[in-house]
Chain A
Amino acid sequence: MVLQVFTANRVCDGIVVFLAEDGNWTTSLEECRVIGDGGALKQAMATAEKAAEYAVVADPYLIDVIEENDAIRPIRYRERIRAYGPPIHPDFAKQAIPAATGL
């Protein structure tokens, strides 16, 4: 199974977040919960749905990620841009951008 992460936009400010290990939502990919099997997926999905219901985040969905040099990064270009911020504004980057992302 491919590795996956739940992502969404936070309701109060719209910022891109990822479901974390502790069930909270984090802007940092370092803290995100990596889902690798069906059981973990079921549990994460329940948490994400609850968060949407309580208006913590809007429209959570799964993205595919890979683990490289101990770092998690989204596979799709669009999701990399969401995770790291608009490439034209490196000053807004929310986290260190791995060299391999092509951004």
Chain B
Amino acid sequence: MYHYDELDQRLVDERVEQFRDQVTRRIAGEITEDEFKPLRLMNGLYLQLHAYMLRIGIPYGVLSSVQLRKLAHIARTYDRGYGHFTTRQCLQLNWPKLEEAPHILAELAEVQMHAIQTSGNSFRNITADQYAGVAANEIEDSRIWAEIIRQWSLLHPEFSFLPRKFKIAVTGSPRDRTAVKFHDIGIVIRKNEKGEVGFEILVGGGMGRTPMIGQTIRAFLPKKHLLSYLEALLRIYNLMGRRDNKYKARIKILVFELGIEELQKLVEDEWNQIKDGPLALPQDEIDRISNQFAPPQWKKPQAARLGAEVQRLKNPAFADWVNVNVTGHKQPGYAIVNLSLKTLDAPPGDVTAEQMDGIADLAERYSLGETRATHEQNLVFAYVQEADLYQLWRALDELGLATPNVGLISDIICCPGLDYCALASARSIPVAERISRRFRDLRRQNDIGGLKLKISGCVNACGHHHAGHIGILGVDRQGEEFYQITLGGSADENASIGKIIGPAFSSEDVVEAVETIVNTYVDIREEGEAFLDTYRRVGEEPFKERLYPELTDAAA
């Protein structure tokens, strides 16, 4: 993984001291909340419903065990013993004290971490494929390019006050796991007809109150031009993006208002002036960064892998976990292991400090000391030898992290909702919990098959409900929580935005509504058809008829 050089370290250390001074002045009453707010947000510190909240950046979700142990220590020492993984592969702490926030940042800096630009109108954490470097059909490792973009975008002087926040994702696989089409800029590593590797650049995707799917602004961009092209695109957005209305300030609105062709022309004109300037990437610099992500020395598949095979035959619980949570690796003898953070015991994405320590130990023993966070709020071990799978499973099970539900209906993306969030309209975590309980039977979950259910507690859509095969949006109706259901969304390479199926359901009725939707699918699916396939084949009508018999009867 990438290690800070002297410059990276100095920058982060200096920021800690600067923030320490700002906090001291705030507590002394020398600066007002209005003056302090932009300063704390630049360091990822929000003021939420119950307390401050600190969002810690994890570039492209990759954590060393040293870093993970530090996060556990921080959660224990300065917070309430747990953290929450987010859809930007970050970690949030829900109870930090302002007076201790500088200590937390100083501890983070010791392990090459910070919370800079995890809030505010600038580049947010750059995300990448959690299977980068190990996926079987990958064109190239997306972490390399996410790191290059991270270095360019961190404290970029021209883009520190963009019209609105800005999210970038990079994927290097034909199978998208990053929700790349729902980003302000999505970068897809592609091979052209000459066999050269470069990028397809998508722009204007996003969720929130105006969900949009990103459009291609450049079908193929040579590698060395990545930063100059991004600079040109950001420059046009910075100049033309709307600053008069917060809800129209994201780049998706500019793309919508200008049209993709017009924006493309403006960007190309700008780019042609700067493309061969200082931002053109020299090959030796690309090589320097790539080397930090060089593949490890793979070991030969061990004969002992047969042991795992035998256990799989003998032990159905282990077999379930292998079938659902373990994925093929590009290297023979290795496997990718998903750790589910969707248990019945905690909100989606939450981990205790003890679990973090346990994961860090297991990563060291079984996965080269590295853990990755996914945008779906789970974790990944990317370098597990098949021979170790059985031992690893037993250890994860002891930590409560072996729930075999990754990609199934109880693997729910869920925002913090009104339990924590100052912006929320309704609670979301308890809905996720009730749905998980309703579908707790693993055989049933497996029979239902791949199904992405996503829940947001307000229109800002942090729970990605627009991209859920089944999406649930919490709304406030005169002080009562209601839940609107959308069907047919998808965040993968064939992205789509879910469609509202009908009137919202009360908190009491929403789980039964999900049950009805799932049962409808099970009744009408054809052989081998996943939920989304069925929905795309039959449309909304069969679901609507079963969900709202009164309405459809009246219409007939």
Contacts and interface: CB of A to CB of B under 8 A. Distances in A.
Interface in A1-36: 9, 11-16
Interface string A45-73: 00000001111001100000000000000
A86 B55 CA distance: 19
A11 B98 CA distance: 7
A15 B419 contact: no
Given A14-B52, A88-B429, A9 B29 contact: no
Contacts of A89: 419
Given A15-B50, A52-B33, A81-B49, A87 B479 contact: no
B479 A88 contact: no
Chain A interface mostly helix, strand, loop or mixed? loop
Given A12-B97, A78-B418, A88-B419, A55 B28 contact: yes
A55 B27 CA distance: 6
Interface string B393-405: 0000000000000
Contacts of A11: 26-27, 33, 98
Contacts of B98: 11-14
Interface in B30-61: 32-33, 47-52
A92 to B, nearest CB: 7
Contact-residue size bin, chain B (C-beta under 8 Å from the other chain): 20 to 34
B479 A77 contact: yes
B287 interface: no
A77 B347 CA distance: 20
Contacts of B50: 14-16, 82, 85-86
B307 interface: no
Of the candidates A16, A59, A78, the one having the most CB atoms from chain B within 10 angstroms of its own CB is A78
A76 interface: yes
B10 interface: no
Contacts of B277: none
Contacts, number: 71
Contact of B33 (A59, A85, A86, A87): A59
A83 B418 CA distance: 13
Contacts of B96: 14
Contacts of A85: 50
A48 B28 CA distance: 17
A11 B347 CA distance: 27
Nearest to B28: A55
Contacts of A55: 26-29, 32-33
Contacts of A54: 29
A81 B419 contact: yes
Contact of A53 (B29, B47, B427, B433): B29
Contacts of B433: 88
Contacts of B49: 16, 78, 81-82, 86
Nearest to A53: B29
A15 B98 CA distance: 10
B26 A15 contact: no
A88 B29 contact: no
Nearest to A94: B50
A9 B418 CA distance: 16
A3 B434 CA distance: 36
Contacts of B26: 11, 55
Given A13-B97, A54-B29, A92-B80, A81 B51 contact: no
B33 A81 contact: no
Contacts of A82: 49-50
A61 to B, nearest CB: 12
Interface string B1-39: 000000000000000000000000011110011000000
B99 A13 contact: yes
Given A14-B52, A77-B479, A88-B429, A9 B47 contact: yes
Given A55-B27, A58-B47, A81 B418 contact: yes
Contacts of B222: none
Nearest to A87: B419
A15 to B, nearest CB: 6
A93 to B, nearest CB: 11
A53 B510 CA distance: 45
Contacts of B29: 53-55
Interface in B340-364: 347
A76 B425 CA distance: 12
A7 to B, nearest CB: 11
B505 interface: no
B420 interface: yes
Nearest to B51: A14
Contacts of A9: 47, 51
Contacts of A14: 47-48, 50-52, 95-98
Contacts of A12: 27, 97-99
Contacts of A77: 418, 476, 479-481
Contacts of A58: 33, 47
Contact of A13 (B33, B48, B51, B418): B51
Nearest to B416: A86
B539 interface: no
Interface in B63-99: 80, 95-99
B301 interface: no
A53 B433 CA distance: 42
A85 to B, nearest CB: 6
A59 B429 CA distance: 27
Nearest to B26: A55
B48 to A, nearest CB: 8
Nearest to B433: A88
Interface of B: 26-29, 32-33, 47-52, 80, 95-99, 347, 418-420, 427, 429-430, 433, 476, 479-481
12 contacts: A9-B47, A11-B33, A12-B97, A12-B99, A13-B52, A14-B52, A55-B33, A77-B476, A77-B479, A77-B481, A86-B49, A87-B427
Given A15-B50, A81-B419, 14 more contacts: A11-B26, A12-B27, A13-B52, A13-B98, A14-B47, A14-B52, A14-B96, A53-B29, A54-B29, A55-B29, A78-B49, A87-B427, A87-B430, A88-B429
